Chain A
Amino acid sequence: MDYFLEQLLNGLSLGCIYAFIALGYTMVYGIIKLINFAHGEFFMVGAFAGYFVLIGAGVERLGLPHPLGVIAAAGVAILIAALVSGVLAVVTERLAYRPLMGSSRIAALLTALGVSLLLQNLGIQAFTAEQKGFPELRRYVPAEQIAELDGEVFAGSAYALFEVEASTGGTNEIREILVPRGEPFDAGSFDEVAGRQWRGAPVAGIYIEQNLSTASRKWLIIVSLAVSFGLLNLLVNRTDMGRAMRAVSYNPEAARLMGISSGRVISTTFFIGAFLAGIGGVIWGIRYGKVEPFMGFLPGLKAFIAAVLGGIGSLPGAVLGGVLLGVLEVLIPAYLPSEYTGYKDAIAFVALIVILLVKPSGLLGKWEGDKV
């Protein structure tokens, strides 16, 4: 039972990240009927923006106080990253999609594929194809201030940190555990380690594992999705812009005749969608600990599937589809013999084909029929 609950929570948190991406997919599709394949790349760019913000702020060397400080740092990174990917989406829409308004759907879809490949490969040029470790959000204490910690009890384990020059020219971190989780810190044990050296490098400081447990981190993901979804609903249902968006999605021609500037509505939709994807990107980085230029492709595709699953064009559908897909993707391999885990990525596609055959409008979608 515990195993089941743990896996369920894993699935929910993965599903919430899918939902963050799927919301943007479903909004863009709802308004201009375009599968924006590049949406996964907005997610990737968001993750990289978060990475550079956190690295640039030297977050691994900031002595962040307990939970709130860590969460605030993550929040700032998420906000900046979301803005970056939102702006990128607006620019992409202007340059690549706007000139295609009115041309065939296939041309638009191919352009979207092209933009996706373009951003991926520009990502490789800019950030190299190697995986990068996402900065850890942790409490860092420089060696001089160790004495002040004596007797304190940490929720996480504390490590001594040696910075060793790596053969590639960068620095590697070597960690040595000082006290395990929940035991009082003893400055004496540090003095013992401090005398030691690791390949000529003295101890640089100690860091204390983030005292948020893994489970509470997953809960934070779920809460952040709930909050974002609530705000998005307010935006779509209670503001003029939201009303304009719904109008354009319902009937673009009539909306234009009513004086709605569809160009602005489309730009805003792209911005909001990519903003959410950017949030998802940073959360992904924090949760799974690495970023790379290809990271957006598969999650992007799966998020699109999630949007179709829930009913494309429907916001609650995107969340439902994303969460459902995440849970399926974690729970099914968890209960299958290990030789089948390679098929994990096929689950989403099978789910897609099943839903398209059984109920093509999706779980929460409405079938509008064909216009002749």
Chain B
Amino acid sequence: MLFFILDHCVHMGILVILALSLNLINGFTGMFSLGHHGFFAVGAYAAGAFVLMTLPAGAGAFIGATWFVLSLLVGVVAAALFGLVVGVPCLRLKGDYLAIATLGFGEIVRIVVQNTDAVGGARGLEIAYLLVPRSVDTQMLYVGLYLGLTLGGVAFTYWIIRNLLLSTHGRALIAIREDEIAAELLGVNLTRYKVLAFVLGAGLAGLGGALYVNYMTQIEPKEFNLIKGIYILLYVVLGGMGSMSGTVLATVLLYVLDKVVLNLMPPEIQAWREVMFALMLVVLMIARPQGLLGNKEIHQTALWRRIFAKGAA
């Protein structure tokens, strides 16, 4: 039982990384990207292919750990580079056009991967266990280790985005979201900052992908479909575009709702899972388009202040 809870926590952590990095692009910089699952896929497949092709046979624990770190780096760098390749031409586009172009890139990634035999094609990619082999005896150690690593990844992502946003560069990104033309008139280099946000968001999604492939060791192209991208977007939108704590909250809420609450329901209700999620997206957009927290962080909300009010304030 504990194993399953921890396993779900690892998945949740990876989704939080993806949602946070998408929030940097969508929520803070105001560029509407629908291709985040593509960056996730690039990170996962680049890391996976790196391990598959370069891992020496009969590698010991040290080599395994080294290759694990290297594969994370490869995943991040590959996704960031891909973000640059996509970003530089696409960021000339705005709004809906950008959404469709990024969606196109996301689909192209999946189609290319599906047709490349070197990474397994449609059958999927399988890599070796780098840190700990997974078996009935070691599964607790395995999942605990990866939970730690994933939480580390989440903390890293949160930290890097938060610090960015508190810096001059982050202010520039938010200015772009609020009003592109005004930001440009104030001397914000639009292209540079947009590409910066896009590349960083893509790279962090690549980190999520690299962790994912190492944890699962088996991935298939069809996991990285548009539905995945829409789910990630749903987390960001429900939490509130421009609220990092909102994103985390929404990811956990929706994940628990999806994987825990619904799984306890009878199968007749479970069959309606997708319908309910789609309906939720529509109703949410109509009733509360700014999401749960809007663009506030959780400690800025009235509820939080009431509960955790300090002193007599």
Which residues of A does B touch, CB under 8 Å? 33, 35, 96, 99-100, 103-111, 113-118, 120-122, 124-125, 301, 304-305, 308, 340, 342-343, 345-346, 348-350, 352-353, 356-357, 360, 372
Contacts and interface: CB of A to CB of B under 8 A. Distances in A.
B107 A346 contact: yes
B286 to A, nearest CB: 5
A305 B181 contact: no
A110 B237 contact: yes
Contacts of B99: 35, 109
Contacts of A116: 278
A35 B100 contact: yes
A2 B111 CA distance: 31
A357 B111 contact: no
Interface of B: 26, 32, 89-90, 92-93, 95-97, 99-101, 103-105, 107-108, 111-112, 114-115, 181, 227, 230, 233, 237, 241, 271-272, 274-275, 277-282, 285-286, 289
A110 B32 CA distance: 10
B277 to A, nearest CB: 7
B270 to A, nearest CB: 12
B97 A121 contact: no
Contacts of B282: 96, 111, 114-115, 118
Given A117-B274, A121-B275, A308-B100, A342 B286 contact: no
A100 B287 CA distance: 9
Contact of B285 (A100, A117, A124, A353): A100
A249 to B, nearest CB: 16
B134 to A, nearest CB: 32
Between B26, B93, B115, B237, the greatest number of chain A beta carbons within 10 A of the residue's beta carbon is seen for: B115
A349 B93 CA distance: 15
A123 B198 CA distance: 36
A105 B104 contact: no
A124 B278 CA distance: 13
B278 A117 contact: yes
Contacts of B115: 340, 342-343
Nearest 10 A/B pairs, CB to CB: A114-B281, A349-B104, A118-B278, A117-B278, A342-B115, A107-B289, A121-B274, A114-B282, A111-B285, A121-B275
Contacts of A124: 274
Contacts of B26: 106
12 contacts: A35-B99, A103-B289, A105-B96, A109-B32, A109-B96, A109-B99, A114-B278, A117-B278, A124-B274, A346-B108, A349-B108, A356-B97
Nearest to A297: B226
A308 B227 CA distance: 23
Contacts of A100: 285-286, 289
Contacts of A356: 90, 93, 97, 100-101
A114 B285 contact: yes
A355 to B, nearest CB: 10
A117 B230 contact: yes
Main secondary structure of the interface of A (DSSP, over half): helix
Given A353-B89, A353-B101, A346 B286 contact: no
Contacts of A340: 115
B230 A35 contact: no
Given A111-B281, A117-B230, A342 B97 contact: no
Contact of A345 (B97, B101, B107): B107
Contacts of B237: 110
Contact of A352 (B95, B101, B275, B281): B101
B277 A117 contact: yes
Contact of B286 (A33, A109, A111): A111
Nearest to B288: A107
Contact of A360 (B93, B104, B181, B275): B93
A111 B114 CA distance: 30
B32 A118 contact: no
Contacts of A346: 107-108, 111-112
A308 B95 CA distance: 14
Contacts of B181: 372
Contacts of B114: 342
A371 to B, nearest CB: 10
Contacts of B92: 357, 360
B130 to A, nearest CB: 30
Contacts of B90: 353, 356
Contact of B97 (A113, A360, A372): A360
Contacts of B279: 114, 118
A35 B103 CA distance: 13
Given A122-B275, A305-B100, A360-B92, 5 more contacts: A103-B289, A117-B281, A352-B101, A353-B101, A353-B104
Contacts of A350: 104, 108
A360 B94 CA distance: 10
A129 B306 CA distance: 49
B111 A345 contact: yes
Contacts of A360: 92-93, 97
Contacts of B289: 100, 103-104, 107
Nearest to B285: A111
A114 B103 CA distance: 15
A330 B108 CA distance: 18
B104 A352 contact: yes
B74 to A, nearest CB: 24
